[in-house]
Homo-oligomer: A and B are copies of this chain.
Amino acid sequence: MPANAFGQLFAVTTFGESHGPAIGCVIDGCPPGIAIAPEDFSHDLARRATGRTRHTSARHEADAVEILSGVYAGRSTGTPIALLIRNTDARSRDYAKIAEQFRPGHADYTYWQKYGIRDPRGGGRASARETTMRVAAAVIAKRWLAEKHGIAVRGCMTQIGDVTPHGSDRLRLDAAGIDWNVVAANPFFWPVAAQVEELEHFMDALRKSGDSVGARIDVIATGVPPGWGEPIYGKLDAELAAALMSINAVKGVEIGDGFAAVAQKGSAHRDAMTPQGFLSNHAGGILGGISSGQAIRCSVAFKPTSSLRLPVPGVDVHGNAVDVVTTGRHDPCVGLRATPICEAMVALVLMDQALRHRAQCGDVGAVAPRIPAGQS
């Protein structure tokens, strides 16, 4: 698998640098017959875009998707779908300084060590701008998953700095009935409407301080039938972990109760089953790497942005000590735009596993008994 490609059968290859002429992707292996139009990408791209609120970077990209191939008469044909977005707001002015310095917390130094050459403009290939194409590709995956299987993949922010949702148990979020309209109605993808104002103040103060914080995003996929995922190294949770950890700034991934399971007793953790449904969902909808039919629950940790106007000791390309100060446009919390990206990666994993499942097990008919999802 080439490093810039994701998925074995629904294979998405992305390309492009932050301040190069364009970013794009090629989706190989897409089922034929899916309705796809350029405007279908707008909603999710807008959800992840910068510049929509004062809390995210001021960079404003039109993010107009051009479909270069693989769609005929409004439907996917089964051949590669290439999507292209021209970079329009790539300010290529003051790179002289940045080209000379390795910014702490960034990939500048590691790309340099790997390749002996790097594109320093806006972080080059290591920029989160690449995630635009993940979101675009996942629009198609989400549509297929929804139409063929009734699957919904939705995420929300569940922690920012040390702020957590009031009065709700994060581990039982979906069961507690998240109001997804609330999540959609605030720039933080926050599930508790009453806290939005507090978060606005929190972010304003943070921006003023010149510092940044991390965030936690939860993603919940409902409607996934039992049986998706493959044994051992192709486990559904293993691929979710890779998919989510591949997002810029992610430092941790949990499935179900995650690290909370360390302190749990087995008698409490294992999800009892009855013919009427599962009685709990500590596992997060996956057992032995294969979906159980319950809601699939992932949680993701984002580190705080490293680009700050506060100086930090760094090193330049000549090996000299320097003080690094970042003056460009940056998010004080990268997690603010991360929800649609996390959803996208979960959708891409599910899409790929769905195709792999029917490849191997298309001969297996309906399997009884089927246990209802029950408590999610």
Contacts and interface: CB of A to CB of B under 8 A. Distances in A.
Contacts of A228: 114
A362 B362 contact: yes
A216 B264 CA distance: 12
Contacts of A213: 262-266
Interface residues of A, number: 166
Max chain B Cβ within 10 angstroms of own Cβ: one of A20, A106, A215, A263? A263
Interface stretch (A39-47, A49-57, A71-79, A190-198): A71-79
A1 B226 CA distance: 22
Interface in A245-283: 245-246, 248, 250-259, 261-275, 279, 282-283
B317 A111 contact: no
Contacts of A63: none
Given A72-B118, A314-B273, A125 B232 contact: yes
A258 B2 CA distance: 26
A13 B33 contact: no
Given A32-B361, A242-B241, A287-B107, A272 B306 contact: no
A321 to B, nearest CB: 5
Nearest to A249: B261
Contacts of A314: 272-273
Nearest to A316: B369
Contact of A266 (B14, B113, B212, B319): B212
A200 to B, nearest CB: 19
Given A257-B303, A360-B29, A13 B80 contact: yes
B303 A80 contact: no
B21 A308 contact: no
A5 interface: yes
A108 to B, nearest CB: 8
B117 A75 contact: yes
B9 A28 contact: no
Contact of A82 (B15, B33, B106, B271): B15
B245 A237 contact: yes
A62 interface: no
Nearest to A318: B369
A32 B360 CA distance: 8
B214 A262 contact: yes
Contacts of A107: 287-290
Contacts of A212: 265-267
A215 B262 contact: yes
Contacts of A246: 232-233, 235, 238, 289
Given A111-B290, A231-B125, A287-B110, A371 B315 contact: yes
B263 A232 contact: no
A363 interface: yes
Contacts of A208: none
A375 interface: no
B245 A251 contact: no
A33 B105 contact: no
A365 B244 CA distance: 33
B271 A315 contact: no
Interface string A99-132: 0001011110111111111110000111000100
Nearest to A283: B105
Contacts of A360: 9, 29-32, 78, 355
A272 B231 contact: no
Nearest to A358: B362
B104 A272 contact: yes
3 nearest A-B residue pairs (beta carbon): A107-B288, A3-B234, A105-B270
